[in-house]
Chains A and B, each alone.
Chain A
Amino acid sequence: MILQVRDLSMRLASGGRPVAILDAVTFEVARGEVVAITGPSGSGKSTLLGLIAGLDTPSAGSIVVDGVNVTALGESALARFRRRAIGYVFQSYHLIPTLSALENVAIPLELAGAPAALGRAAALLADVGLAARAHHYPAQLSGGEQQRVAIARALALRPALVLADEPTGNLDSATGAAIIDLLLALNHEHGSTLLLVTHDAALAQRANRVIGLRDGRLVREPQPAAVS
């Protein structure tokens, strides 16, 4: 198993009273799987993904990624864990506006002290079809292009687990489909595991398995007809 989530709960204070964002969520993901997490907005999908990446600390429960108990890690250890094990693709891309596309992709490589970071970043940009746009800044790129840069950045260190939070949410449907094609193709090529948050049923059908979330609890969802 690449991911084991046990009894995961997350409560936040909202307007002075606690709200359960996630309530005793338990599931596992096998290595190489593509899993879609679906549910209406506010169901806790993004929070679940963020907790898996160690971006926040859960109120209860445990998360084990690639044998590492994420919930037990301190801040610095978490940062190293994210760098090594996780690739994260955000709905709103979250590129750094003052850096060029190339430099954005190079960040994880540089943080890891990888040699020839810029050269490798250029190759990654070429893989997502943006070799010609390497020196553009995010503001000069379209939404689809920005998400491609974000994908290249997420995959730069070949993480075992790729988390994508509504990667097509801000894109028109044609561009969104192209991004999903790219994500799946690269995932396949790198042999990584992909956990994909979406409320797009068609997109969810392209995963191996669908996990449904409603009000912070797991619910049964129709599973994809065929394994892609």
Chain B
Amino acid sequence: MTGFPLRMAWRQSRGAWRHFLAFFACVVLGVGALVSVGTFAANVERALGREAKSLLGGDVELRSARPLPPDAAPALARLRQAGARVTAIRELVAMARDPARGESLLVELKVVDGAYPLYGELATEPAEAMGSLGAGGGALVQRELLDRLGLRVGGRIAVGDAVLTIAGVVAREPDRPASLISLGPRVMIGARALEATGLMRFGSRVRYRTLVRLPETVAPRAAREELARALADPGVRVSSFDEAQPGLRRFFTQLTTYLGLVGLASLLVGGIGVASSVSTFLRRQVATIAILKALGAGSRTLVATYTVQTLALGLAGSVAGALLGVLLQPILIGLLSGMVPFAIESGPELGTVARGIVMGVLVSLLCALWPLLQVREVRPSLLLRRDVEAGTPGRRPWPAAIPVALGLVALCIWQAGSLKVGGIFLGASVAALGVLAALSWVLVIAARRVPRLPWPAWRQGVSSLRRPGGHPARVIVALGAGVMLLVAVALLERNIGHQIDHEQRKEAPSFFFVDVQTDQREAFARTVVEAGAAPPALTPIVRARLAAIDGAPVTREMVDGNRDDAAQERAFYFTREYVLTYAEEPPRGNAITRGRWWTAGEVATRALISVEEMAARRLGVGLGSRLTFDVQGVPIEAEITSLRKVDWQSMTMNFFVIFSPGALAGAPATYVASARVPAAAEAALQNAVVAAFPNVTAVPVRDILERVSAVLGEIGLAVRLIAVFTVATGIVVMAGALAATRYQRLYESVVLRTLGATRGAVARAFAVEYACLGVTAGVGGTLLAVALAWVVVHYMLDAPWTFEPAAMMAGVALTIVVAVAIGFLATFRLLGQKPLAVLRGE
């Protein structure tokens, strides 16, 4: 008995493979999408793990915005005695210029000592170029700098007040990659060269990093603990290589999570295809099932038979899909490898492959189970009077749907990796399915109600939508889901494109000028005006650190207690170097959400501050709280009298904390300014400012937006690649659903032709039907895409939404074209059948 389901399943599949093509393809595509994303995530994770030490540059890192406090020295000395090696690095952005021609460029300056690098290898051309840094006059630069300034190795560049010889090119820097977007090419110099630049003056923004390479005998975590205990100042972040979360890792985790959800969407659309193909298959098997029951097969045996068949097919599809996912790896890596500074090897990962296969098999099983249970409802008496009760009674085993739904929910949460993300995904999926199903229902109702159309093709095509079997719902849901994803990606890209298109943002400045000194203000403004820009407004800024909240000092314990993501984000607000300003009026684009802005009378007596609302929430402060800032060792306490909402998308200077005028009177300030000139005049303005004020940094907004845009372009391509899986699955589901109506269509077309309709007339009727399906799926999918993209833009990116009628129309139009094309591919052969043969067969 036990062998019967297996044997029977095999015999059934042997001849019926055609019926299962759609099933198989759906599983292959769904699992392929999941496995390709999962394998990519695993490959990145593996590369990040392998490179973790060289990415950080050491086993332990001390990082701060100020020079290390004195208590660091003895702790580091102890580690040195134990055999550790230490290197100190300073990083800042500055301007490099060609001293001969005056052309200038924003660069990321890195000051290293002889011990650098502790891990990995600094590859230079020529190879021994690193030696020249110690001597003082040399600089190593990235190739991009040479290209953009038209310089050569051996030539000279000016940085600040120093003129340095270009000693070589940095081909690979092991710890370059902290963020995805660099502000400019790397320039690497030694400590003495830095002194000569004169850039280390007050107010410059420098990142101090001290890296430690530990001997084998000392555990990184232990060394991190010890250093953290020794350094009281919470402004010094101490992390070991395995817990440092460089933006890169977080970025890839998020990217692969979202890509994974897109992949999951395609597997779920595939699930519709599986359910649809199983129920079509079973409809054709009703007679066989009845015969087997008449011969004494129990329902349980038969459910087992078809379940075995489904499982085997799901497994085969999943294995093929996993293979596809692994084979696609080089493409995905090719799309995204521009973002990482190290090689990602494309190799299969057993866990991911196994997980993809399990997902594929379970989704097939869960989606097939519902139609499979109908096997129980088939009565053997069907064989006695087929004409009396055609088909099976429509009693659906509703209670059986509960475990199926729960199983799918569990799989979604598993794939999403968190209850919250999984929940949001599920909610959105159910809503999208609901909308599409409702639209298909509306279409069918409309087809029923529509008055008799005067054109035969239309009449015939529209009436075909009411064909029994419910193919419109399947086609519209599956196709609409794919359309939704692709159009949403397009809408998002266009919306973000508006945000970062410098030409379109008339209010965006061409440059931010940073570090203008008090005594340079007038000359600086003159220079800017002479270069053709409007007179720049100079905003004073004072760098400071948060020292205490309501009198309680900010300590390392408050910051270091917890290392999860949320706590790390909170820690950022406690320990960051604040850029303070003072103002009489609230800045444009800022809205007071709590409290009110100060009056002239109030500020005369005491120091007041206005805090950005998110920062206030993270710091756990509100109106009336007192914050103490440490400005160059001087504590300044102020009371919060208002909270502000800041539009971070506005390309103006925004501040977390604004002081009342006068409160920072004694503090040494530098100035920030912005200016807009036509694109053609940008280089001249930058060169003029940099030549006159070598210490001033000109941040070119257009250039940075272009860098952002390039990265987003790569991400967009990757998302599209995965979304295409969903569309492909949707197409397969559509083809499968149409194939399920093949016999009816064949019969209809033959009857019509017998009655004198030409082949072309039948084809036109088909086209009308497919176009109706395409319009509904296209409109539904596009509307859902608008909703999805709007939610992302509004809530996640916090950016203004622009309508994109062109992209939306294109979405609908393409869907119609695809629907009609796929419809014809799935059914055109019917048109060639000879009527008489078909009618005799019936």
Contact = CB atoms under 8 A, between A and B. Distances in A.
Contact of B385 (A47, A79, A98): A47
Contacts of A97: 15, 288
Contacts of A53: 294
A107 B293 CA distance: 11
A99 B9 CA distance: 11
A94 B287 contact: yes
A14 B295 CA distance: 28
A111 B379 contact: no
Interface string A183-210: 0000000000000000000000000000
A81 B294 CA distance: 10
Contact of B291 (A49, A79, A94): A94
Most buried by B among A50, A76, A81, A95: A50
B295 A55 contact: no
Contacts of B3: 110
A1 interface: no
Contacts of A95: 291
A19 B7 CA distance: 42
A55 B386 CA distance: 13
Nearest to B293: A79
A96 B384 contact: no
A38 interface: no
Contacts of A47: 384-385
Contacts of A79: 293, 296-299, 301
Contacts of A49: 384
Interface string A81-99: 1111010101000111111
B11 interface: yes
A43 interface: no
A69 B1 CA distance: 25
A40 to B, nearest CB: 16
Contacts of A14: 388
B385 A76 contact: no
A103 interface: yes
B387 to A, nearest CB: 11
B182 interface: no
Interface string B349-391: 0000000000000000000000000000001110111001000
Given A98-B11, A103-B11, A113-B1, A56 B295 contact: no
Interface residues of B, number: 31
Nearest to A80: B296
Given A56-B379, A111-B301, A83 B295 contact: yes
Interface in A81-129: 81-84, 86, 88, 90, 94-99, 103, 107-108, 110-113
A76 B299 contact: yes
A94 B381 CA distance: 13
Contacts of B1: 111-113
B295 A107 contact: yes
B381 A50 contact: yes
Contacts of A107: 292, 295, 297
Given A79-B301, A95-B291, 19 more contacts: A46-B384, A50-B383, A55-B294, A55-B384, A56-B379, A56-B380, A56-B381, A56-B384, A75-B298, A82-B295, A83-B295, A88-B294, A96-B288, A98-B14, A98-B16, A99-B11, A107-B292, A108-B295, A111-B4
26 contacts: A49-B384, A50-B380, A53-B294, A55-B293, A56-B379, A75-B298, A79-B296, A79-B298, A79-B299, A80-B296, A80-B298, A82-B294, A82-B295, A88-B294, A90-B383, A95-B291, A96-B288, A96-B291, A97-B15, A98-B288, A99-B11, A108-B296, A110-B8, A111-B295, A111-B301, A165-B384
Interface of A: 12, 14, 46-47, 49-50, 53, 55-56, 75-76, 79-84, 86, 88, 90, 94-99, 103, 107-108, 110-113, 153, 165
